[in-house]
Copies of this chain bind each other. A is one copy, B any other.
Amino acid sequence: MPTVQRDGALLADLGLRATPQRVAVLEVLSGAPDGATAQEIHDRLRARGERVGLATVYRTLAALTEGGAVDALAHRPGEACYRLCGSAHHHNLVCERCNRVVELAECDLEPWLARLGDAHGFRVTRHSVEVAGLCADCA
């Protein structure tokens, strides 16, 4: 299924109209597995030549978050980071010196998370992991 059609179906499921602006936001999110701020999304849309208002980006993200299709994380104060929920879950290994990124194919922390949740009576729904260090070349 083409991405435009898939995005349209996702929006319809949430009871939202499939406007070009919303599809465009979803496409940018698809290309940002580690999430992006509203400003970043807006910048990338403009870079693509799409004319989407910043307010529309915020409203779209709010609607998608409400509908559960997007997670709103927040790394730094005063700046939220939005991430598509359905995108394949994985973690990154980042080199502190050269910024090289190794994408880990899969996340094998599930057993650890399950134990954690059980121990504290939580139903774990999300997690994020950032690992940084020095790569072989920089060490």
- Choose one: B109, B127, B129, B132; the contact of A125 (CB below 8 Å): B132
Q: Which of A75, A76, A93, A126 has the most CB of B within 10 A?
A: A93
Chain A residues within CB distance 8 Å of chain B: 72-80, 93, 95-96, 102, 104, 108-109, 112-113, 116-117, 120-136, 139
- Choose one: B77, B93, B95, B135; the contact of A116 (CB below 8 Å): B93
* With A96-B125, A129-B129, A130-B128: A120-B102 Cβ-Cβ less than 8 Å: yes
Contact B134 A123 (CB under 8 A): yes
> Closest approach, in angstroms, between the C-beta of A66 and any C-beta of chain B?
13
Residue of B nearest to A72 (CB): B77
Residue of B nearest to A58 (CB): B77
Contact A116 B104 (CB under 8 A): yes
29 CB < 8 A contacts A-B:
A72-B77, A73-B74, A74-B75, A74-B77, A74-B80, A78-B78, A78-B79, A96-B125, A96-B126, A104-B116, A121-B136, A122-B131, A122-B136, A122-B139, A123-B134, A123-B139, A124-B131, A124-B132, A124-B133, A125-B132, A125-B133, A125-B134, A126-B130, A126-B131, A126-B132, A126-B133, A127-B131, A127-B132, A129-B129
